[in-house]
Structures are given as C-alpha cells and as structure tokens.
Amino acid sequence: MKTVLYLSSSGAQYWTKTGNTWQAQDSVGAGPVYLLCNLPEEGFEDIAVPRIFGADRQSFIRRQLASRFPDTPYTALMPTPVTGGLIDHLAPPRQIAFGLEAAQRVNTTLAAVGPIPIAGVWATSLLLAQLANHKSLSRDLFVVFPDVDALRIVFVKQRVPILTRLIPSVTQAPDIAAEITRTVRYLENNRVLERSSEPRHVLMLGNPPEIEPCLKQENLKWLAPPPPWHKKRPADWRFVLFDMATASPTGQLAPLVWRSRFVADRMRAPVYAAAGLCLLLALLVAADNLNQIAADYSNEQAIAQRNRLHELQISEIEQKIAGFGVSADEVRNAVILEQTELAQVPSLSSHLQLLSETISSFGSFRLVDLDWHILNKGQEVCGGAAAETAPSANEAQAEPVQTLPTRQVEISFQIVDLLERGERAKMQAITSFSAKLTQVQGLNLQVDPAKVLDLGSLSGGGALIGRPGDKPLVWCLTMPWPASNPKPGPT
C-alpha cells in the first residue's frame, strides 16, 4: 500500500492508495511515506556553468546551490535539454536548480512521521515541470494547477522550467485567468517572453466552472492534456501527482539523513540476495572441496589397506623363507650369482662347433686333446706359455697385444696330422690353420705352433715338431666372456 503525505499551505494530509483509489487518512500505516509539497517557497534558478569537468564541475555546482539557496538543504538539479555539440552534452553550459526554502516546516513534518521510513521529498513544481516536457505539448507552456485553496502556475520555456508561483485563495475561473495574464506580463516585462498577439498556451490541470471562456478572453489557449489523460481527464489531478511521486522520479529533495531507513530497506533485499548468492557459491566450492577431500581420504584408506596386505604378504614370505632354513641374504646372493655368473656362462657347444668347422677344412687334422675353462681374474693365460712364445721375424714390428678383458674363456687343444708331409708342406698347413683361427671375431691366439715352427726352421731344428706323428701340435687361445657366439672366418 502506497502512502503520500501531501503538505500544502493549509496543512499536511495523509493519502493512501487502495487498488486504484486514493483515500485521505488520519494516520499512516507501515509506510514508506512519500512527502509531496505544494508550498510558496518553491523556486527555480538558472545557473551558467563554465566549461569545466569532473570534480571541479560538481564543486562549482554545489557552491552555486549553497549561494542560491543558503537556508535549506532541500535542493535538486533538473535535467536540462542540450542542443549543442558533444562538448555541450559532456559539460552542459546551463543547469537548472530547484530549491524548497521552507526547511523548518518540512523538517517538522518529517519529524512528525515518526519511525516510519521516508522514501523522499518532492515538490509540486518539479512534477508539473516534468509533466510539461511531454512531446505532444508546446515547448513554451504555462502549467496551471488549481489546488483546493491555492493556484500553482509553472512556466516552461523550450521545455526548461523558468518560473513557479503559488497564489493563495485563487479558486474562481476569472481570478485564475487574471493570474495567468499577470504572470505573462511579468515575463514580458523581464524580457523572458517576447510581446506577441499570439495566444499563450495553457495546460489546465483541472476544470473550474466557466474557465474556458475566461481563458479566451485573456488570449490564452487551453491545451488538451498529454496521454494517457487526453481521452479521459482525471477527476482530481492531485492523484496524478501522487502517482508520479510514488514512482520516485528525478528531483528528490530530502537529504540522506531522512531517507536512511528507506534506503537501507531498499538495499537490504539485493544485499541479502548477493549474500545468499555468495553463500551458495561458497557452498558449491566447499562441496567440491569436500568431495575432493572425501576422494583423497578414500584413496588414502585404499593405499593403507594395500600396504597392510603387502605387509601381511611380506610376513608370510618371511615365514616361508625362515622355514627353508636359508636366510634371505643368502637367497639374494644366490639370485645375483645366478644372474651374473651362471646364466651368462659361455656356450661350450658354440666353441666346439667353431673348432670342428675350422678343423674340417683340413682333412688330415685330428683333435687329440681339448681343455676349455673360464679364466679367473689375475690367472695366467695358457699357463704362462704365451709369455714364452717369441714372435716371428715377420711380426717383429707388430703392434703390442691389447690388455685382456676382465673375464676370458681359455681353450687349448692339440692337433695331430695323419698325413705324411714334408717339412715345408707341414709348416704351410699349420700356418694356414693358425691364420684361419685368427680370422674368428674376438679370438686371441696366445700359443701358435706356426710361430714355434718358424723359429725352429730358422734355427736349424724344430724341438716341438720333430717328425710327423712324434709329438702333437698345441694351440692355446682366449675369447672374451660374455660375448656373442663367435663366427668362423672365411674358408
């Protein structure tokens, strides 16, 4: 329910709207209360503003308001039409100010309202000036509002309010027309209006008896009201002003100290809505965090369960190991030994195949004895026989033998030649056989009978050779381990 406190020269009266009907009341209900004033102390002031912007402009206008209306805080700035360019729109050179100088009376009226929220204070002159700005009306217009015991006249020039008057005890049509004419003459004398024989336009907010003939007699033209009242005139134009005031139009006059409760009530709903939205967002974020915490806790419990299961399995394995009578360290050492030593033992079959393929190319050679074993670290190669074997004269300038790998496979074997050969043919066969062995990838021939045979021939005898069949020929070679399977040289 809307409540208006109408303050005029005759006193203050509460009006409440129920449905579409305004009714006078002796007291106010819950509120809020809209104060509408129709007092003689209302006035407009035209302020010329220099080309300044921002805070400087606002400070200048405040100083002008304080100088034009020094005894009242009930002031407001009216929207002023601008016809210039962009700069004039950004900083209008003209500003219309309004002031209600009956501050003591307004303060007393507002204090009598009590704890009920006050929505604001508006003046009848402001509402009439806004009503005159309708585009269907003349740009130069006299707005006349006959009240119960007074007459309000507002003059608007080019849709800018210039003058407002409140004449008490004027209710009859001839008196109303005479006061309008008196206002016209005042404006003409002050050069606000040009003297003209054309009729002045009048918007009459009311229908006093015999008003139209009186206006014609004073050369005043009665205009139809703007929409939506042009089809059906209101029975009481005060109610139109009440509806305008309760819509909180531009031109509110009361300082914030009188409106604090109303503003707080108006702000409470959006603030609560914003707080509720923030709370909802916080709950959503917290719910997401709680879900993440629950998921992390579930994962932690699952990991702890798996850890307990693993500990149980480890305990069972340790019990089984203890039942074997062998410690875990010994088992680990055995596994390491199997991986590093036993699983990588070189293949004897590949070496035998190598020797068989090499010997088979010499049909009269037979393998008499074979010794195959892995050399330990620091063990002499071929029982030290390699050091005693002197190089041949053809190899005196050969490159030194490279250092043996850390682990080697030593193979020593004896060959008996079943074929009767001469000394030279036998030396050639043995040399060819040794040369074929040296072509094997990775093979290092340590003891070579071909070299000994060559030394014997040069010295005039062969201590290790003798006659065929007297003593077998001995070769000793090494191969790296671990290594890929050796490949025989070309035949």
pLDDT in tens, 100-110: 999 999 999 99
pLDDT at 388: 46
b or e along 396-411 (b: 16 or more beta carbons within 10 Å of the residue's beta carbon)? Answer: eeeeeeeeeeebbbbb
Q: What are the tens digits of pLDDT across the range 301-348? A: 999 999 999 999 988 888 887 777 777 788 788 888 777 666 666 778
Which of 181, 118, 171 has its CA nearest to residue 145?
171
Give pLDDT, residue 129: 94
Report pLDDT for 397.
41
Q: Is 439's pLDDT higher than 90? A: no
Give the mean model confidence (pLDDT) for residues 221-235.
Answer: 90
Which of the four CATH numbers 3.30.420.40, 3.60.15.10, 1.10.3720.10, 3.10.105.10 does domain 2-254 have?
3.30.420.40
pLDDT at 487 > cutoff 80: no
Better-predicted residue by pLDDT, 168 or 485: 168
Domains in the chain: boundaries: 2-254, 280-344, 346-480
Mean pLDDT for the stretch of residues 215-234: 90
Contacts of 116 (CB under 8 A, 6+ apart): 28, 30, 31, 32, 33
Average pLDDT (86-100) is 89
Distances (CA, A) of 222 to 41, 235, 479: 27, 18, 131
Three-state secondary-structure class, residue 368: strand
Give the neighbor-by-neighbor strand order of the sheet with 220-223.
160-168, 150-157, 141-146, 200-204, 220-223
Q: What is the pLDDT of residue 12?
A: 94
Confidence class of residue 462 from pLDDT cuts 50, 70 and 90?
Answer: very low
**Where do we find the tokens 């309202």?**
113
Rounded mean pLDDT, 382-401: 50
Q: How confident is the model at residue 366 (pLDDT cuts 50, 70, 90)?
A: confident
Mean pLDDT on 421-442: 86
The pLDDT of residue 485: 52
Average pLDDT over residues 11-25: 91
Mean residue pLDDT of the chain comes to 85
Amino acid present at 373? H
Is this model's pTM higher than 0.85 or not? no
Q: Write the CA distances from 473 to 199, 206, 351, 451, 468, integer angstroms.
A: 153, 150, 19, 12, 10
Q: How many CB atoms lie within 10 A of CB 297?
A: 10
Statement: residue 351 has pLDDT above 70 = yes
Residue that wins the pLDDT comparison between 70 and 322: 70
SS3 for 57?
A: helix
Which of 34 and 462 is assigned the larger pLDDT? 34
What is d(CA 249, CA 134) in angstroms, rounded to the nearest whole number? Answer: 15
Residue of 449, 362, 359, 446 whose CA lies nearest to 410 = 446
Does the pLDDT of residue 280 top 70, yes or no? Answer: yes
Detail the DSSP E strand segments found in 85-223: 94-100, 118-123, 141-146, 150-157, 160-168, 200-204, 220-223
C-alpha 440/C-alpha 120 separation (Å) is 114
**pLDDT at residue 295 is higher than 80:** yes
Please say if the pLDDT value at position 81 is more than 60.
Answer: yes
Mean pLDDT within 467-476: 67
pLDDT tens-place string over residues 443-459: 888 888 888 766 555 43
**Cα distance between residue 130 and residue 145, in whole Å:** 14
Q: Assess whether pLDDT exceeds 50 at residue 126.
A: yes
Q: Is the pLDDT of residue 114 over 60?
A: yes
pLDDT at 465: 38
Residues of the chain with pLDDT > 70, as a percent, come to: 88
Of 220, 223, 232, 191, nearest to 204 by C-alpha is 223
